[in-house]
Every structure is written in structure tokens, then in C-alpha cells.
Amino acid sequence: MVDPVSEPAPDETPTRSVPATSRSAVPSARARPVSNAGWAVASLLFFWPLAFSAFHHAFEVYPRWAEGDIDGAEYASRRVRKLGQLSLWIFGGLLLLAIVLYAIAVIVLIAHGGEGGDWHHRVRD
């Protein structure tokens, strides 16, 4: 058991004060940036060629931060997010292109008399 006399009272707990001159000398420690691995997975699902670079940058966030390269870690984190968003934009563009081409194909089939399945025979005549 702990002797209550040997421990200071809660209001007597010693506090460490740092002189103002040493506070400015200590570099500000920024928090570790998020790895944005979700955006890397999104790039894998929606446009996989960008996933290689996205996962590479996602796995570089922590090692760079641990080495003290905070700017590099933040760059890698931002790059993962941008690659994931770019993959979504590319997927949306390709989807829109597919819908437009499908609509054009349907219009062409209807315009050339696609009923009965013999429209290609009329083209030769």
C-alpha cells in the first residue's frame, strides 16, 4: 500500500513550467496526417491503374512522418486523396461516355428499323 503521507495532495502536485525562450526553440510538432487508405481503395475499385500509385503513397505516410519528414507525409496523404478523387472522375466520365454510346446505338438501331432482327439485310439491298 502507498503511504498517504509520502504522496502530495492533489493541489500540491508539482507542475513543470517551460521557460518562454525554450518554447520557441522547440519546433512545433504537427499531428500525423491520415493515410487516406479509403481513397486508395476507391481508386482500386473505380480505376485500378491509379491504385498502384495511390497505395504506394498511402504506405509512405507513416514512414515519412516517423522520420520527421512531416511535409513529405502530408504530401503523400494529399496525393492519395487526389488520386482517389481522380479515379472517381475518370470512372464517371467513362460511365457517361458508355451511356452516350449506348444511347447512340439504340437510336441507330431504331432508325434503321431494328424490328424483326433483319435490319442488316436491308442495308445490303
pLDDT in tens, 82-98: 999 999 999 999 999 99
pLDDT of residue 25: 40
pLDDT of residue 11: 53
Residues of the chain with pLDDT under 70: 1-28, 113-125
72, 64 in Cβ contact below 8 A? Answer: yes
Angstrom CA distances, 20 to 14, 28, 35, stand at 19, 14, 34
Which of 42, 79, 45 has its CA nearest to residue 59? 79
Encoded amino acid at 13, one letter = T
Angstrom CA distances, 32 to 53, 66, 77, stand at 20, 9, 10
35, 62 in Cβ contact below 8 A? Answer: yes
43, 51 in Cβ contact below 8 A? Answer: yes
Cell reading at 91: 470512372
pTM for the model stands at 0.64
Residues making up the chain, counted from first to last: 125
pLDDT of residue 111: 85
How far apart CA 32 and CA 100 sit, in angstroms, is 44
99-113 confidence digits (pLDDT tens): 999 999 999 888 876
pLDDT of residue 79: 96
